[in-house]
Structure 1
Amino acid sequence: MATTACGSSGGDDAAQKNPSFKGRGPIKYVAGKDAGGSVQKVLDKWNKAHPKEKVTFVELPTDADAQRQQMIQNAQTKSDAYSVLSLDVVWTSEFAAHQWIDRLPENKFPLDKMMKPVVETGKYRGGQYSIPHASDGGLLYYRKDLLKKAGIDKAPATWAEMQDACDKVKKLSEGKGMDCYAGQHQKYEGLTVNFSEAVNSAGGEVLDAKGKPNLDTPEAKKGLDFLAKSVKDKTIPKEATTYQEEQGRQAFQGGKLIFMRNWPYVHSLASKKDGSSKVAGKFDVAPLPGLKGPGTSSLGGHNVALSSSAKNKATALDFMKFFTSEQKARFALEEASLAPPYESLYTEKALVKQFPYLPTLKKSILTAEPRPRVVNYGDASSAMQKEAYAAMTGTKSSAEALKDLQKALQKPTAQQ
């Protein structure tokens, strides 16, 4: 599988040509489940202003792997059923290399106002193939009320501090029966993210600066050991090996977890005071913990791309400008606590007052490590999921899993 993060595939350069954006009329926006409920509201605004160019929302499953597979199937059949795609930031290279999406005119979008690492996720071989509409950085959600009662005045910066805090909270009457920590540990894309974060947060790296796998290191082993040993000693409950984002959110909101790794969208849902969250007003967020200090998030987020087989591309391009605007990013932040790609929104006083975690989130994004940006990303991610899950569930040791992953990621295929 591909392990190189840059270079030439040596293939046809047709994907680099500038397509023509012609045709007006109805289009379809394709994305994963709208957990925060903000997407349809944005589409309603567009549809009201463009009655002859309406956008229909095609809502795919929550599971990122299932989303990717459905988009690929549509692209391979050259179907025009999908117009504008919401891509995980690491899918751009794969979709661009296979000419499933069009190269976009960079000057039509305010990329200079967006955070540079976020904009870079939309590039492939010098061209801009997708535009950020929401960024993402991992955050540590924690029960500030229980930590305070246990005599802990700040969020843990290391894994050891987090485990110590759990021990103290569990001794409280309110902490009995609670689990310590969960992330996204089911064998799917979320585990690729959590595994990468663990390795990076222990001072290791999945790929080196040249794009080669670098997993036969003590640091990588310490990262995977954290996940594997945490399941074994029940710091991470066994049930959490089945968690995706939503299961973790529901467990935290239901008062079952002391700590949780998740994305910013959870903040607005967990803060609701309509009875759906038992932790509203009782939690806070902090940077992810690491081995010796604050950890490193994987860079998350979603970009919009234009299906190369879509109809009505002039409408689609206009919709993409609308959907990636600063106004829409502000709305998505206020409505669903989605991380904006625009840097200015993180320092706007009114927003920081409303969302005190914005400075923490900005730091998480700017210091985040991207997952491998490779053409055969699906193969690379599947290998990471397989080996991390084997170590966490005890079917392999961390050392064996990393040795096997090193081999899997070294298989020669087309480079980016």
Structure 2
Amino acid sequence: MKRFLKHCVSAFALAAATLAVPAAASADWLAEAAKPLKGTEISGIFLDRPGYRAIIKLLPEFEKRTGIKVNYEIVPYENTREKEVLNFTSRGDLTMALVDLVWIGEFAENGWLVPVSELAKDKATTDPNLNLDGFFPLLLNAFGTWGGTVYGLPFDNYSGLLFYNACKLKEAGFDKPPATWEEFATAYAPKLTDASKNQYAYALQSLRGETQSADSFMRFLWPFGGSLLNKDFKSNLMSEGSQTGLKFRQDMLKYMPPGVVSFDHAEAVNALAQGQVAMITEWSAFYNTLVDPATSKLGDCLAVAPEPAGPAGRLPALGGFSLAVASQASPEQQKATWLFIQWATSEEIAKAYVEAGGVSGRMAVYKDPDIKAKYKFVEPMVASWEKGVPEYRPRFPAWPAISEVVAEWGSKIELGQVSPEVGSKEIGTRMEAILQKEGYYDGKKKLLQ
């Protein structure tokens, strides 16, 4: 996987060099570019998460400057890929694709996305200050790039962080969060758990589906020295590191609220916000929910740190989305959608986007003294993006089918219905059958894109 990341970085550098645009610009390039497109309607899918609520707050500015109408539907994450795939295969009305990092291969290989290089050929609708080099390379590579081609721009960007209630930790005798998962299990968790008072040390979002497969199951592989696949795309779940991580997760269930295996992100965040748990490992995007007095009781007790390290080191989760232009859109809609995507991910509105509750993929905004001082999540998040983390979820087109298998058996492992060994063997057998059918073992498809 590390070899894959290096390949993408060099591919991105080449792509960025080919997308340079003139520096001169009008006083308002966006308004000028949109004049021929006034009245055009574009459409996409948003999630019910802070980053999307943030762009919705800023949307009137875009529509006023451009005369372009942005239609959106808010869809639960677990239903988003299915809804988009159905729309694209039936040549529906979506002009914009919301692309999770694990969907990029499927969407690109099916021809549903327009490459940025094609869009940027039209200088009239390309921001003179587009500056692809201004994105964190890790994010542009993971969320928007496939096979060396940039398709989408990072929009809703996540790093896994440890959010915790510093007051609860202090009451239990701790003046800082656990630095390692071993420290969490042996020292912190027992003192922070009292089931008789409905008080628990930790909540891990584990709802069956992508939340279970990505946010729960995969989170405890890499830090413990494991991984889903080896370099030949065979199952690596029976390795010592993978088994140790999955057993650790299973053992932690006694320190979590009953029913946590049905918790999605909202339930995990709410458990911390309302004082039921002392710690969660969640995406950076939920910071604003936890500091909002309307949704959280934490107040000054909220603190943020990197995710704890495992035996293999500190390897936090990476997640996020890009926005891309859908190939099924009309030429006018493609231009209008391209304008919206550039604006929504631009350096121009990055600070306003962050202050409205979003997490920008632009490096410059996190150097702003006001942003660094105001938002506790910035320092640990930026550190993880600059260091780089393993692509702990494969991005190939076969992932959605594999994710269903991982979600089913990952839930059984976490609940103790099967042992990590038995569950891992089932996942490995079924996963390799999917990859065999898809042509990953007979040379029909490249193992590393």
Shift in CA distance, 5/116, structure 1 to aligned 2, threshold 3 Å: closer
Q: Aligned residue for 1:295?
A: 314
Q: Is the 1:40–1:57 Cα contact (8 Å) retained in structure 2? A: no
- Quote the Cα distance in structure 2 between the aligned partners of 1:68 and 1:328: 27
- Quote the Cα distance in structure 1 between the aligned partners of 2:169 and 2:227: 32
Relative contact order higher in (CA < 8 Å, ≥ 6 apart): 1
- Quote the Cα distance in structure 2 between the aligned partners of 1:38 and 1:316: 18
Q: How does 1:19-30 map to 2 (within 5 A)?
A: 24=37, 25-30=40-45
Q: Using structure 1 for the length normalisation, give the TM-score.
A: 0.87
Q: Aligned residue for 2:201?
A: 180
SS, match of residue 216 in structure 1: coil
- Quote the Cα distance in structure 1 between the aligned partners of 2:350 and 2:102: 20
- Quote the Cα distance in structure 1 between the aligned partners of 2:302 and 2:85: 39
Q: Aligned residue for 2:96?
A: 84
Q: How does 1:298-317 map to 2 (within 5 A)?
A: 298-311=317-330, 312-317=333-338
Q: Using structure 2 for the length normalisation, give the TM-score.
A: 0.81
- Quote the Cα distance in structure 1 between the aligned partners of 2:117 and 2:265: 34
**Letter in structure 2 aligned against 1:68:** R
2:305 alignment partner, one of 286, 292, 313: 286
Q: Following superposition, which runs of at least 4 residues in structure 1 exceed 6 angstroms of deviation?
A: 4-7
Q: Is the 2:237–2:424 Cα contact (8 Å) retained in structure 1? A: yes
In the TM superposition, what whole-angstrom CA distance separates every residue of 1:18-46 from its partner, at most 9, and x where no partner exists? xxxx9941111322224462121222111
1:358, distance to aligned residue in structure 2 (A): 1.0
SS, match of residue 221 in structure 2: helix
**Letter in structure 1 aligned against 2:74:** E
1:50 alignment partner, one of 55, 66, 72: 66
**Letter in structure 1 aligned against 2:289:** L
Q: Aligned residue for 2:19?
A: none
1:293, distance to aligned residue in structure 2 (A): 7.4
Q: Is the 1:170–1:178 Cα contact (8 Å) retained in structure 2? A: yes
- Quote the Cα distance in structure 1 between the aligned partners of 2:372 and 2:85: 39
Q: Aligned residue for 2:280?
A: 260
**Letter in structure 2 aligned against 1:136:** Y
1:357 alignment partner, one of 367, 377, 380: 377
Which is further off, 238-247 or 380-389?
Answer: 380-389
- Note the aligned Cα RMSD (angstroms): 2.6
Percent sequence identity over aligned pairs: 23
Listed as ranges, the gaps of 5+ residues in structure 2 are 8-33, 121-125, 440-444
Listed as ranges, the gaps of 5+ residues in structure 1 are 8-21
Q: Is the 2:78–2:209 Cα contact (8 Å) retained in structure 1? A: yes
2:191 alignment partner, one of 168, 174, 192: 168
Q: Is 1:272 matched with 2:284? A: no
1:5, distance to aligned residue in structure 2 (A): 7.1
1:209, distance to aligned residue in structure 2 (A): 3.8
**Letter in structure 1 aligned against 2:133:** D
SS, match of residue 339 in structure 1: coil
Q: Is the 2:225–2:312 Cα contact (8 Å) retained in structure 1? A: no
Q: Is the 1:287–1:294 Cα contact (8 Å) retained in structure 2? A: no
Q: Aligned residue for 1:60?
A: 75
Q: Aligned residue for 1:347?
A: 367
- Quote the Cα distance in structure 2 between the aligned partners of 1:295 and 1:95: 31
In the TM superposition, what whole-angstrom CA distance separates every residue of 1:179-207 from its partner, at most 9, and x where no partner exists? 12112211111222221120001111222
Q: Which has the higher helix share?
A: 2
Q: How does 1:8-47 map to 2 (within 5 A)?
A: 24=37, 25-35=40-50, 37-47=53-63
